[in-house]
């Protein structure tokens, strides 16, 4: 009887360990879509868009403009705290958006905050590279 109880106890412990290991779910990405413009014109097809953690330069998302009207979509990846690797942003990180490796004017650097599972529609990006006097 003691031997049978010991086997059940070990089986229960192993089952609990298995459940806690299997239930580790990585964070849900944050999704964005909108329109990118450069100097008031739609960004051209294939223009690169990147997102970095403000102050660190760690890239946490990238895409290219997908449509002639400057349309894009992008997911921000998040760090899985259950691993030792750094896979992406942490909840609450300030973000910096770039078009063709240049900081966007809108949103201003550091004004967007990483929020796991959030969905952002009409998140429009603006890059101004010329001053009004040059236009």
Does the predicted TM-score (pTM) go above 0.85?
no
The CA distance from 102 to 10, in Å, is: 58
pLDDT tens figures, 79-99: 988 888 888 999 999 999 999
The CA distance from 69 to 36, in Å, is: 8
> Which fold does the domain 30-127 belong to in CATH?
Immunoglobulin-like (2.60.40)
pLDDT tens figures, 14-44: 667 665 555 557 789 999 999 999 999 999 9
């Amino acid at each position: 009887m003691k031997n049978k109880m010991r086997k059940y106890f070990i089986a229960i412990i192993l089952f609990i360990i298995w459940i806690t290991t299997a239930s580790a779910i990585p964070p849900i990405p944050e999704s964005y879509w909108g329109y990118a413009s450069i100097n008031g014109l739609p960004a051209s097809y294939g223009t690169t868009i990147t997102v970095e953690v403000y102050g660190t330069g760690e890239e946490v998302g990238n895409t290219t403009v997908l449509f002639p009207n400057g349309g894009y979509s992008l997911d921000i990846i998040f760090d899985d705290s259950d691993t030792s690797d750094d896979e992406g942003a942490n909840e609450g990180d300030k973000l910096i958006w770039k078009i063709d490796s240049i900081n966007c004017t809108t949103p201003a650097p550091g004004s967007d905050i990483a929020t796991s599972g959030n969905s952002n529609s009409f998140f429009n990006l603006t890059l101004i590279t010329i001053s009004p006097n040059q236009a």
